[in-house]
Structure 1
């Protein structure tokens, strides 16, 4: 199967299946009760079907329960369908004991055959669960789905419900109609059936539900009595009767122009009439499915190439102009580090400008504290064409000022007002938002109204590099960052989750999406809120802190991590195609481990963002697409039911919780980066993020130079390291500038020794425990700020030749590849 890389791929021939699951029996089940036999029941959950969670009856006091119960699901042929079978031991008076879950890929079930699986739960005790599966095609016309090979978007329809409200006094008691459609964007509507006035003109009310057309959902309509207290209506305190409930299977209705009449038995005399119909929804998606760069970035690159080519010819003293594929892509990578990273990035960019190299740069990637710099710079559409000394002076004013006003009564009132406005704008206020407002107070003059999308003005003519901001998506609770993290990049054009090949317009970040459509538009957040998200040093959980401090995860793996193992038998392995996931047995941890897990993984002060992948599904062959496995960084990638498309919200946090660097967006093959100038602002371990990136890329098969250092090199850090791969010209050259104080102690400028009176200016403490630049310090003295600026600019200018050599090499490699490519084209044409 071939998938398009640069556009949405429309596949024909998607079908619907009727899945029948018969829970037959289990044997030798060991419950948690020592004095009695287990009281077992089985729960069935298939998140990719819109059916409710189903369960068998309980078989009491029996270690070998026999259920012989059958359940039905409607599933989609192009979607990865994984059924979860969970066994519980029921307890009367206390919570039921959860014993285990079997995760089974329904792709193992052939069409029109009965397949009986005996799942081995415990070999030692010969525990087994026996289940029968049957899969048949539902006769109907073929449907089309939109997919990029990783995500699938089936057709969406809108159910329109028209209800006629009665005149005042028609009902003896207040009555409302409760409508619900499981799996829809809206989920439910409540309509008060009695009008407030005899003269009310509009007695009709309309409810709309958007849902996937082929997933077999139903509409439930219930008439409820509403009780009031002190003239306030409490809609959640209702009395209803199952006889007043009507269920309409929506899979039996085809989109049509005419309404269908539905009658609901009324609490009082006459039934309630309502009309329903299905409307088709536009096929065009607001979520871009594709791994290629967006069109706006491609246009920017064409414009930026002209600036880069002109600058490279000048600084490298080339005789000929660089054109097309001969022009290398140079990127700046900046790590986090709080106010230290913010100040140092200003200095480094100023140094590149002074060296005439800033216009050679196409991308600037930043994470955590360094994002505060790029956000501020890009408020000026022509910032790189102006002297950066003024921007540094402005930063100095904010870094050196007293921050006590950040916590004044007036500021606290302002924070409260802004958080209330955030709630009105459709977002759930969090500590991350409060932190963003505090950063705004510390490093800005008053309220900053800018949005990330406003930065497009700084890219219109290719006059500045393209900024990329990095975050990671994690699970908010129960799962550590060690086990799950997904890169999320922000640019002025798009916000995208790299692994899934899904992006939205930056203007739409924070809005609500469903099935790839923009359903509810909310205002784009101000950049201060994004800065709080990108640089929130407070949303670490204890596991993250342990890992960042010790680099050891043995405690987590040994004592806390859930037990998961492959239980496929040979006959399943023979049947299973390469794209099918393994059958896995999940055994929950003990009470002690569950308590520890809750303590260690809880992120009490994280914020949540609307998940723009909501309503999309993983493709049945998502593992076969190279782009997905390239960005695979999670143990949960083999558990599609736990991945982001099925999550209600995103939990985006500081990328430094995994690797304190912003390399990943620059390593995308589509960006073709040749040289990365890496600025590392870590105090005590200035090479750690580089080594972590190397290990990560080696594991994932991403092109990155090998980082090999001797013990001596680890003890004595240099001002600049050059790493490249001579055997792989597609691998970028990395020039790594750690934050160290080496020759600066003796030289105030390259080649200019300090006088005895100036020696104290060279004593910049960037390693000691009492360094003024520690992470949580946001206020520096003017002297400390100035010395940090001089140190970083000196380290850069002292290694100018290394940078120029790397640029020369990149140009030569580009030219050689271009000549080779033309030769291959010529040979191919001759053969044709």
Structure 2
């Protein structure tokens, strides 16, 4: 009997291979993350409003309502205007086609129509339609704040559309829906009549909600173009003929318009229509809708990509060999016994770059560099990383070469970077990027200036090119970190999202969405690659990772006035607000109705002045078009990285933004810690390198606070008064009460014993004492944040200090490595054996 039970799964598998009836089961297993879900028709009836405020002192409001669903792109409805009424009655009905697997939040806006100036927005209501039960009529009254008495009555009905199921791809946070491609072929059976006033006629075609939205082409010659749109979208193609010389676009003789509903257009079959163009008879449009490829160019998933998983297997062999040697182990470590060790370097401009060279140099001398699996950095530390990974064998070769290279360039005058010849070359390259469809900004100029200051020449290296340094597992995996922020309506503390860069992929930790690193800057829609651009050189990414220019006035104010305690209080307050909102509205399928009342025009203008980023960086948003899952807030991976109130409002999150705005992580916390806690990495030991001048533990305390508020296993940072008064070269932290937390060895930038010792255990002679003196005071130090030129002796001293501090901590590092071995063993459970 046991033998038969053992054979049953094999027999079932063989049957699936030959039985067509079971083929679907096998395909669904392979297509993990793919679900089929019907669409629904949402009927919304705007009934009436009461107690609306007067628009001005002389008359009552002339109200109308705008209805919009971000998950039904291109669909926007408007009621009729009721003149002079604080109690308008509309009784108008509108329908939306919605997908119930996504978060559908209806936006209802009441405006006051004005014939002289722009219409005033009176109120805005956001309503999660998941409250509407299928087939049951729901009437809801939306009310304002307790201080006002405005009300809006709306009636809802949801009904399933049986003939419109969709195949969705989802990671339970983001959803990619089915796309169709509309092929449009323009041709003419007659001749275009031109007059002196009309030299050329153009056809404007609009498909709202599509990737292209609007396309304009010249009549008189055959042409073919495409529109990509949601398959379930109930929309229409609209067009009109106009003259290219008509700036107003409203010439009475050329306003002939036409519309073509796309719903009746059968996939694969052609439809031909005539264009009503009196001045261009015989113009025809041939339409044909086709399905788009189902495969995504965006990786939707929180798991590590296959390339990183393969790298880990290769790197473990290198790490196992190195650990055996430095710890003098008697036996070889098996793959599942190898701990995961990471370097976590923070920013600090040229100071961070120089110090990191020293730290790596020391680790290499001690034979410890091969023990490291991950190498993360931000801001200035990424300059070191980008330079080193230009050489695929950098950690296996003497670091004295790249150090000397950087020392020579740091000692040079940086004025040459601003010479007329260099400025011309910058202008030429920025023009070339513009021709390649890149949106160039001041940050791109900063990239070229920074490249010249650090290297004096163009560096023809790309992020994806760094994969060569990982092919044999010969180096740690580099991880670069940035923040995505709002371009013009929020300060960084109010909204920020971690964006990780590696040679394999780039993506959001919060959304579980990643793209191959060579595709950053290319255009995406609904997870599909629309237009591929040439990969940018590494300097343009270095400028993103150290982008200190995209600040707004509120960011600047906080950086100038906030103390560490004020920052901590701010973060705690933010987390309390999120927890309070989550407890009210729930964390999964339902979002409470929210009511927004706009401020005055003056208040809005002042708010925009404070929060706009005049020098912001722009990069196409590869999440464009993707929609949020109905239960996105209930997913652990999303909630781990959701740390602002805006996470409760789907229409305000990044998938709705046309562009990304990437800034230095120092706008929030100067740390690369989040990369260490990505699912699947499970670090056992973190070597933390801090390059702060004035507060050697500030970033560490901020990181601990942030991680604990987010539920991330970070060790307790317990420091004695003596440690705070006089920090040592390294400090070891662990947390027995939190076994998931890695061991952490923190290296602040301090000059404790280096001033008296040239090497560990070797006291300086009186003639050498001057070489041990470093000015690390924030006010007078040559290593200030904005200094990009170091004297050779200053570069050498900072390098030697960092090198010495690590080598002088060799015993502590070895102790931490042994703790990491034990930590990994405790965290690895033996597989169950079935008898």
TM-score higher than 0.5: yes
Label 1:390 to 1:269 Cα distance change in 2 as closer, same or farther (>3 A). Answer: closer
* 2:217 alignment counterpart: 191
Distance (Å, rounded) in 2 between the aligned partners of 1:556 and 1:577: 23
Q: Give structure 1 stretches of 5+ with no counterpart.
A: 196-203, 228-233, 558-562
1:713-757 CA deviation, whole Å, 9 max, x = no partner?
333322212111112222111111111122222222222222233
Is this contact kept in 2: 1:568–1:582, CA < 8 A? no
Alignment counterpart, residue 682 of structure 2, candidates 672, 686, 709: 672
Match of 2:651 among 637, 641, 648: 641
Seen in structure 2, the aligned counterparts of structure 1 residues 468 and 7 have a Cα distance that, compared at 3 Å, is farther
Q: Secondary structure at the match of 2:87?
A: coil
SS at match of 2:155: strand
The 1-side partners of 2:418 and 2:141 are apart by: 63
The aligned counterpart of 1:150 is 173
Match of 1:616 in 2: 626
Candidates 78, 81, 87, aligned match of 2:110: 87
The whole-number CA distance in structure 2 between the counterparts of 1:107 and 1:634 is 23
Please, which of 361, 367, 385 is the counterpart of residue 356 of structure 1?
367
Change (3 A) 1:242 1:149: farther
> Match for 1:293 among 292, 299, 304?
304
- Mean CA deviation greater in 723-732 or 373-382: 723-732
Measure, in 1, the Cα distance between the counterparts of 2:581 and 2:528.
39
Residue of structure 2 in register with 1:178 after alignment: 204
SS at match of 1:518: strand
Question: How far is 1:625 from its partner?
Answer: 1.4
CA deviations on 1:453-494 (whole Å, 9 max, x unpaired) are 111111110011111110111111011111111111111111
Number of equivalenced pairs: 798
1:127 and 2:150 matched: yes
Residue matched to 1:248: 260
Say if 1:566 and 1:582, in contact at 8 Å, map to a contact too. no
1:555 deviates by 13
Q: Give distance in 2, aligned partners of 1:637 and 1:564.
A: 9
**Secondary structure, aligned partner of 2:551:** coil
Equivalents in 2 of 1:214, 1:609: separation in Å? 29
Measure, in 2, the Cα distance between the counterparts of 1:789 and 1:564: 44
- Selected match of 1:24 from 47, 50, 73: 47
Report the Cα distance in structure 2 between the residues aligned to 1:610 and 1:127, rounded to whole angstroms. Answer: 40
Please tell me the root mean square deviation across aligned C-alpha atoms, in Å: 2.6
1:347-386 matches, within 5 Å, as 347-386=358-397
Provide, for residues 241-263 of structure 1, a one-character-per-residue CA deviation record: whole Å limited to 9, x for no partner. 6972121121222312x311223
CA distance in 2, matches of 1:259, 1:592: 53
The secondary structure found in structure 2 opposite 1:757 is helix
Are the counterparts in 1 of residues 190 and 281 from structure 2 also a CA contact under 8 Å?
Answer: no
What 5-or-longer segments of structure 2 have no aligned partner?
1-26, 572-576
Could you say if the C-alpha distance between residues 382 and 697 of structure 1 is closer, same or farther in structure 2, counting changes exceeding 3 Å? Answer: same
- 3-state SS of 1:426 partner: coil
Give the C-alpha shift of residue 706 in structure 1: 2.0
The equivalent of 2:736 in structure 1 is: 726
Whether contact under 8 Å (2:588, 2:630) holds in the other structure is: no
Partner SS for 1:266: coil
Q: In 2 relative to 1, CA 32–687 (structure 1 residues): closer, same or farther, beyond 3 Å?
A: farther
* Counterpart Cα distance in 2 of 1:268 and 1:139: 45
1:81 deviation in Å?
0.8
Matched, 1:65 2:88: yes
Q: Does 1:13 align with 2:36?
A: yes
Matched, 1:485 2:503: no
Distance 1:564 1:770, change over 3 A: closer
Map of 1:319 onto structure 2: 330
Query: In the alignment, what sits opposite 1:264?
Result: 275
Counterparts of 2:449 and 2:81 in 1: how far apart (Å)? 55
- Conservation of the 8 A alpha-carbon contact between 1:50 and 1:216: no
1:231 corresponding residue in structure 2: none
Between 362-371 and 759-768, the greater mean CA deviation after superposition: 759-768
Q: 2-side partners of 1:66 and 1:222: how far apart?
A: 35
Among 694, 706, 711, the residue aligned to 2:704: 694
Cα gap change, 1:567 to 1:542, in 2 (>3 Å)? closer
* 2:598 matched residue in structure 1: 588
Residues 398-448 of structure 1, C-alpha deviations (whole Å, 9 max, x = no match)? 111111101101000011001101101111111111111011111114111
Aligned equivalents of 1:567 and 1:241: distance in 2?
A: 56
Q: In 2, distance between residues paired with 1:276 and 1:322?
A: 64
Aligned 8 A contact 2:484 2:499 in 1: yes
Partner of 2:747: 737
- For residues 331 and 184 of structure 1, what CA distance do their matches in structure 2 show? 44
**Partner Cα distance (2:582, 2:282) in 1:** 54
Please report how far the alpha carbon of residue 38 of structure 1 lies from its aligned counterpart in structure 2 after TM superposition. 3.1
SS in 1 for 2:784: coil
Aligned equivalents of 2:168 and 2:723: distance in 1? 55
Partner SS, residue 163 of structure 1: strand
Paired residues for 1:593-604 under 5 Å = 593-604=603-614
SS at match of 2:263: helix
Counterpart for residue 807 of structure 2: 797
Match of 2:540 among 524, 529, 538: 529
Distance 2:262 2:107 in 1: 25
- Distance in 1 between residues matched to 2:448 and 2:684, nearest whole Å: 37
Distance 1:370 1:247, change over 3 A: same
Distance 1:564 1:716, change over 3 A: closer
Q: TM (normalized to structure 1)?
A: 0.91
DSSP 3-state at the match of 1:291 = coil
Does residue 821 (structure 1) correspond to residue 833 (structure 2)? The answer is no
Q: Give the alignment partner of residue 447 of structure 1, picking from 453, 458, 474.
A: 458
- Deviation track 1:551-606 (CA, whole Å, cap 9, x = no partner) reads 4479999xxxxx99999999xx7xx8942222111223445643442222111111
SS at match of 1:70: strand
- Tell me the equivalent position of 1:200: none
Alpha-carbon distance change, 236 to 417 in structure 1, aligned in 2, over 3 angstroms = farther
- 2:15 corresponds in structure 1 to none
- Rounded Cα–Cα distance in structure 1 between residues aligned with 2:30 and 2:298: 11
Residue 618 to residue 761, structure 1, CA distance change in 2 (3 Å): same
CA distance in 2, matches of 1:297, 1:814: 20
Cα distance in 2, alignment partners of residues 236 and 463 from structure 1: 63
* Inter-CA distance 745–500: structure 2 relative to 1 (3 Å threshold): same
Q: Say whether 1:206 aligns with 2:204.
A: no
Matched, 1:520 2:525: no
Could you list the per-position Cα deviations for residues 282-328 of structure 1 after superposition, in whole angstroms to 9, with x for gaps in the alignment? Answer: 11111111111111111111111000000001101111111122100
Alignment of 1:693-772 (within 5 A): 693-772=703-782
2:417 to 406, 420, 423: 406
TM-score (structure 2 length as normaliser): 0.91
Aligned residue for 1:707, secondary structure, equals coil
Alpha-carbon contact 1:564-1:586 (below 8 Å) kept: no
Name the structure 1 match of 2:139: 116
Q: Secondary structure at the match of 1:545?
A: helix
Match of 2:101 among 46, 56, 78: 78
